[in-house]
Chains A and B, each alone.
Chain A
Amino acid sequence: MKRLFTMLAALSLVLVLPGCKKSEEKSEAARAPTAKKLKIGISIPAADHGWAAGVGWWAKKKMAEYPDVEWVLATANEPGKQTSDIEDMMAQQVDGLVVLATESAPITPVAEKAKARGIFIVNVDRGFLKPVADVFLEGDNKAFGRKSAEFIVQKLGGKGNVVILRGIPSTVDTDRYEAAMEVFKQNPGIQVLAAQPGMWNQQKALEVMQSYLSQFQKIDAVWASDDDMALGAEKAIKEAGRQNEMWLFGGGGMKDIVKRVMDKDPLYPADITYPPAMIAASIDLAVANLRDGNEKAIADKLPAHLRIDKSQLQEKRAAGQTQRLLKLDVHLITPENAREFYFPDSVY
């Protein structure tokens, strides 16, 4: 009897599990495939901070625009999971892959494997260590660092104390930081008091900012290099009651920050774009290349902050061509132009 109970329980447990997935699956199956559909896999990091959440939101929005493509979307919280995700997509015989790597080095081997199998790869934002993608679309992090630092220098009148919050160690962070430091060094009136990693994370940024506030008597500006971190640092500043002494520069174009720039909040005089919507442009690029090879047709559809210089695009992809690098320009957001970069529906 006990055994029978055990067996029944085992059966019901394993039957219930796949069962609850079924309802989700049905809506997908409703658009039943007729001919051989184009199949594209999208592998992105799980939404552990605002920007990554924005990536997921834009990816889903863009996928819905192509109902005739069969999409396979997976989010990963660490490189091991992402490698598995991409392998599962290869087993599902995808024609193309859009990959935003959780980390550069560990995802490179699996990307190489996909490339060897003839899968078209669009790599977004965080690059592989080898040029294995067909297209690599990245935000211009050097311009991000340079333009934001130039704004800080100008706003401070070439004189003042700045503290820096850095991101997760990666090429994205290095490019931003080094370009900014170059600008600061050219202006001897600017004193960079400290630069420590806040890991693009609000909580961590708050802790780092707290220690800055207790260390330094006078801070004029915070270069947070990311809007999430700016929000964390802002909390620390307000808790210390020093919000009249300094202002912040984040980066990324988070809608809340853009709104505050638009409303002329003294804490946020400006911001800089680094749109998570670049995933949407990448998806467009993947579809265009796999369908008819005409990239230029999609370039006109893109909104202003996603515009890719047309000279970088081409009508047809040449066979056997190596990775092409496309840079997405970054734009300074000021109260005057903020409306252009404000997307109230977006999660970021």
Chain B
Amino acid sequence: MSDTNDTGALVQGQARPTPREWMATLPSWWVPAVALLVLIVGTILIEWSTKGSSTFISPENLLNILRQWSFVGIIAVGMTFVIILGGIDLSVGSLVAFLGGLGILLMNHLMGQGWGELSAASVAFVVMISLGAVAGVLNGTLITRGKLAPFIATLGGLAAYRSLALALADGGEFRSASAEWFKALGTGGLAIPGTNIAPRAPEPIPLLFPWPVVIFFVLAASAWVLLNLTRYGRYVIAIGSNERAAVYSAIPVNRVKLLTYSLLGLCVGISGALLSSRMNSVSSSGTGLLYELDVIAAVVIGGTRMRGGAGTIAGTVIGVLILGVVGNMLNLLQVSVYLQGLVKGVIIIGAVLLQRAERL
């Protein structure tokens, strides 16, 4: 916490800072950033030493990682605020499946009523995203008015939304009836001119910069502004560091909490819309399963304190990238899906240990 506060004074007073002082001037996300860099270099080195070339650094692979993790990343951006606030939300994964399924049902229904594909898909997207915010308001209300611990309130959501999704789909899948428009957002992207990723294909296929990645970056940038440059951001940090002090400082604690949970809900809605669009379907039992774990892991690896009061958006983005690079590396090295969880677990625990060591 104090790292960033005393930096200015230290650097000013001395002509040549010692390495330790120089390190103190670094932003708080430097540890995960270094870890990410080492991870990337390590992966490339292993690939070169065993195969003589690297698939990892191919632009297509890097964009794959970004797209695969942008769905988690979008939620993690919202979760960063909630955790800085001193809260938690366990319902995000189930909510993704529920909202996505509902969106598909709505779109199929509208198309059955004679709506065009584009208009039905657009309405479905808008409804999914706004219902996400509504679900966030519900969580926030339970926590502020109902005085429930965030863990309990959202644990209820975890069970309830998944159950609703299962019941709506009768345990199966929600399948989109739309062929093109609904799929466009999740699978499409900005074509990068002059590229061709498939020499075998009858027609050249350009490399895409996927929409979900664009949205993830835009959201992260807006979140950075919100957290660092607005009064709301300062309130979130203040409440997270000391809620009672915040109350005495006339900060509208409940209103800030409500807003924060609904912001996260909005992010979940966006992620659910993109994910259902990408898969062109939602599986009631599999979609968003254990997302809460990945999302919280990304935030924690990024250096946000579980107790609240401190955290950065840049750290969260790096946390998402670390999880993505690790998963991709394990895939490229053909490690069994069962062991991948072990590696993820070691990284989460390691990250928290590191941050604790730093603060001692």
A: residues with CB less than 8 A from B are 1-3, 5-7, 9-11, 13-15, 17-18, 21-22, 24-26, 28-29, 33, 46, 72-81, 83-85, 87-88, 90-93, 95, 102-106, 108-109, 113, 116-119, 129, 168-170, 197, 199
State the CA gap A73–B331 with chains docked (Å).
9
B117 to chain A, nearest CB (A): 16
Residue B111 at the chain A interface, CB threshold 8 Å: no
Given the interface pairs A88-B64, A88-B328, A105-B175, the reply to whether A169 lies near B283 with Cβ below 8 Å is no
- Can you list 27 contacts pairing A with B, beta carbon distance less than 8 Å? A2-B360, A10-B31, A10-B34, A10-B354, A13-B346, A13-B347, A15-B38, A17-B326, A21-B335, A22-B46, A22-B50, A24-B335, A28-B50, A46-B337, A77-B337, A79-B283, A84-B64, A90-B197, A102-B286, A105-B279, A106-B173, A108-B281, A109-B279, A116-B205, A118-B198, A119-B200, A169-B172
State the CA gap A168–B171 with chains docked (Å).
8
B216 to chain A, nearest CB (A): 16
State the CA gap A74–B354 with chains docked (Å).
32
B333 to chain A, nearest CB (A): 5
B151 to chain A, nearest CB (A): 25
Stretch at the interface among B5-13, B53-61, B248-256: B53-61
Residue of B nearest to A28 (CB): B50
State the CA gap A272–B55 with chains docked (Å).
44
B-chain residues with CB within 8 Å of residue A29 when the two chains form the complex: 50-51
A48 to chain B, nearest CB (A): 10
B110-145 residues at the A interface, CB under 8 angstroms? none
**Which 8 A/B pairs are nearest by Cβ-Cβ distance?**
A118-B200, A105-B281, A117-B198, A169-B172, A78-B286, A106-B279, A91-B61, A118-B201
B-chain residues with CB within 8 Å of residue A3 when the two chains form the complex: 20, 23-24, 358
- Taking a contact as CB atoms under 8 Å apart, the answer to whether B354 and A9 are in contact is yes
A109 to chain B, nearest CB (A): 5
State the CA gap A14–B334 with chains docked (Å).
18
- Taking a contact as CB atoms under 8 Å apart, the answer to whether B35 and A13 are in contact is yes
State the CA gap A127–B328 with chains docked (Å).
26
B301 to chain A, nearest CB (A): 11
A34 to chain B, nearest CB (A): 12
Complex interface bits, B196-208 against A, C-beta within 8 A gives 1, otherwise 0? 0110111001000
Residue of A nearest to B276 (CB): A106
- Taking a contact as CB atoms under 8 Å apart, the answer to whether A104 and B334 are in contact is no
Given the interface pairs A14-B39, A117-B205, the reply to whether A79 lies near B337 with Cβ below 8 Å is no
Complex interface bits, B329-351 against A, C-beta within 8 A gives 1, otherwise 0? 11111111110000100110010
B-chain residues with CB within 8 Å of residue A81 when the two chains form the complex: 337
State the CA gap A21–B353 with chains docked (Å).
23
Residue of B nearest to A70 (CB): B51
Given the interface pairs A2-B360, A72-B334, the reply to whether A21 lies near B46 with Cβ below 8 Å is yes
Given the interface pairs A2-B358, A3-B20, the reply to whether A74 lies near B337 with Cβ below 8 Å is yes
- Taking a contact as CB atoms under 8 Å apart, the answer to whether B357 and A6 are in contact is yes
- Taking a contact as CB atoms under 8 Å apart, the answer to whether A75 and B328 are in contact is no
Given the interface pairs A14-B39, A169-B171, the reply to whether A109 lies near B278 with Cβ below 8 Å is yes
- Taking a contact as CB atoms under 8 Å apart, the answer to whether A17 and B337 are in contact is no
A7 to chain B, nearest CB (A): 7
The answer, among A18, A72, A73, A197, for a CB contact under 8 Å with B46, is A18
Residue of B nearest to A74 (CB): B331
Residue of B nearest to A120 (CB): B200
Residue B94 at the chain A interface, CB threshold 8 Å: no
A-chain residues with CB within 8 Å of residue B346 when the two chains form the complex: 13, 17
Residue of A nearest to B286 (CB): A78
